[in-house]
Structure 1
Amino acid sequence: MSSLEHGNDESEGENEARVVLDVDGDFYLPGLEMEGSNGTATFKLPQLRTILKPAAGILVNCRPVPRSASVARATSAMGHGQNDVWTASNFQASDSPEFMFPARMINTSERRFLNRFCIRRRFVPQVTGLKTMMIYADGACCNNGSAEKIPRGGYAFVFNNSPTGTYSSGLEKKGVDGQVYAHTNNRAELRAIIAALHFRTWWGEGWERIVMVTDSEYVSKGGTEWLRSWAGRNWRTSGGKQVANQDLWKALSEVLGSYAKSGCEVSFWTVPRNYNTLADAAAKAAADQANGAEEYINDSRALI
């Protein structure tokens, strides 16, 4: 069924702010299990993730700890770290990402409002009962495979529809291992996923599942199926060749593992290119203007 056949959606209260990390959330701060004050700090759990010291005027950020049931669920969905690698799960749906995950305001534990691509209420729990958000990701490469011109890669991801909701960058000259690699479409597309997951501690906002939208089968198949097989064959393909972009695949496995151990499932959703136009346009613009950094680095934004 197409999105046009769904009709008016306002009856669901879709425009009301979503409470993500709420009183009954999946996070807690170890050692602080109740509301109270000890004279130097005030806290209320599980809503708040900051401690205020009035005398010094200092805000101390505390890392929320996922409950064991959430960790068990996410690690199971993402392969239990078999063969010392982590993989994403698959996400499939009949509707478009734009319809299933419209941009909505969510209300955090600090009562601040953030713009995210949230799953529509009508798809809960039929599609997923987890608190789920979506990120578009894509990579591009000018002169891809050219023997005459130097390829230039760029990547991008989009996490909301505001002017600040898109991040893009030129592909670095060096990889995770410090070696210089030629730019390719595959490398740029894979880099976009890694960058998006490193950009922010998304699970710290209360999300239990992050759906990464990609139009690259190389990324989606590799990140959900091939990765574990490659690792089991000492990073060789079924034909015995060395796996390309090993440094990025290993970096992807590492960041996927950090999410699994934090109780947040990461899923890949493979879509037609015309469903991924926001990230595609930003990645192409980054590749066109590419003057990528020398060293590989992930830009991370604090969860504040």
Structure 2
Amino acid sequence: MGHPNIEQRKFTFCPNLAGSDLEHLITQCPACTRFFAACCPHKTFGGDIALPNKQPCHHFQLVFIDGACSNNGRDDAKAGLGMTIGDNEEYCWSIAVKDAVDPGGPRTNQRAELLAAIEGLKQLEAANRLQAIYEAMGKGDSHNKPASRHTDDLRSTYIVVADSEYVVKGITEWLPTWRVRDWRTAAGKQATNLDLFLKLDEVTASLEKDGITVGFWHIPRAYNHKADRLAKLATGV
């Protein structure tokens, strides 16, 4: 399953929205507090979402991710992951990187960013599966509010939102070229953090096999402050 806004897993907006400010492109549902990307067909962008009884389209589901690491690469480094899909507490995750999360891996910023992308997709999928259970029971969302998402959009398109060009370019551009070069860079060296890129590819491919389209979107750091705060909190520094 594909989507015209996603090519080789890179997410872009339709031409009508491509030049818009990010404030208009990132939307939030007032009922469930979840984050979504503006949708051209449903015209849920800009001031439209402020109209009475107007809900943003729930099709492009966003998970903001970030990784942090103090004393990057040193023996005493402490790394953390931050992920969020909405303002509710249950939609925010702050996870310290221990051996259970990354066995034997060095604690670095780049590994933390990749781990956050992996964990972010897992948490988004788990949240949607829980949501589906509540809706099947007729309870709306987990706060017992009326269900606010479009039921036909549930688990349709996931967008990993990162301020890390390393993560987004890595999974959308570099990994396919490494694959044809026997997992080596243009310089003939093994790609750094290949194990985590392959894990991210595995998680993404599993969702795609289940009928979910997955895209990756690179944004400026200023728009990723919530995930950044959660990642730094996880380092305990």
Instruction: Give the structure-2-normalised TM-score.
Output: 0.72
CA deviation after TM superposition for structure 1 residue 214, in Å: 0.5
**Aligned mates of 2:216, 2:44 — CA distance in 1:** 14
- Aligned equivalent of 1:260: 208
**Could you tell me how far 1:133 is from its partner in structure 2?**
1.5
Gaps of 5+ in 1: 1-70, 80-87, 107-113, 290-304
**Does 1:90 pair with 2:38?**
no
Match of 1:169 in 2: 95
For residues 265 and 130 of structure 1, the distance between their equivalents in structure 2, rounded to whole angstroms, comes to 14
Aligned partner of 1:100: which letter? L
Which residue, 94, 100, 106 being the options, matches 2:25? 100
Note closer, same or farther for the CA distance 1:273–1:254 as it changes in structure 2 (3 Å cut). same
Aligned residue number for residue 134 of structure 1 = 62
**Residue 139 to residue 199, structure 1, CA distance change in 2 (3 Å):** same
Deviation at 1:115, TM superposition (A): 3.4
Q: Distance in 2 between the 1:139 and 1:265 partners?
A: 24
Percent of aligned pairs with the same amino acid: 32
| Aligned pairs for 1:1-304 within 5 A | 71=1, 73=2, 88-92=9-13, 93-104=18-29, 114-120=32-38, 123-124=40-41, 131-146=59-74, 150-173=76-99, 178=103, 180-201=104-125, 206-289=154-237
Question: Cα offset for 1:224?
Answer: 0.6
Aligned length: 198
Cα distance change on mapping 1:174 and 1:226 into 2, 3 Å: farther
Q: Give 1:187's aligned amino acid.
A: R
RMSD: 3.0
The Cα offsets for residues 203-247 of structure 1, whole Å up to 9 and x where unpaired, read as: 755132112111111101001111111122121111111112122
Paired residue secondary structure (1:269): strand
- Counterpart of 1:91, as a letter, is T
Distance 2:21 2:162 in 1: 12
Structure 2 gap segments, 5+ residues each:
46-56, 133-153
- Contact 2:63 2:121 survives alignment (8 Å): no
Q: Distance in 1 between matches of 2:7 and 2:20?
A: 24
1:5-63 CA distances to partner (integer Å, 9 max, x unpaired)? xxxxxxxxxxxxxxxxxxxxxxxxxxxxxxxxxxxxxxxxxxxxxxxxxxxxxxxxxxx
User: Larger helix proportion, structure 1 or 2?
Assistant: 2
CA distance change for structure 1 residues 243 and 137 in 2, over 3 Å: closer, same or farther?
Answer: same
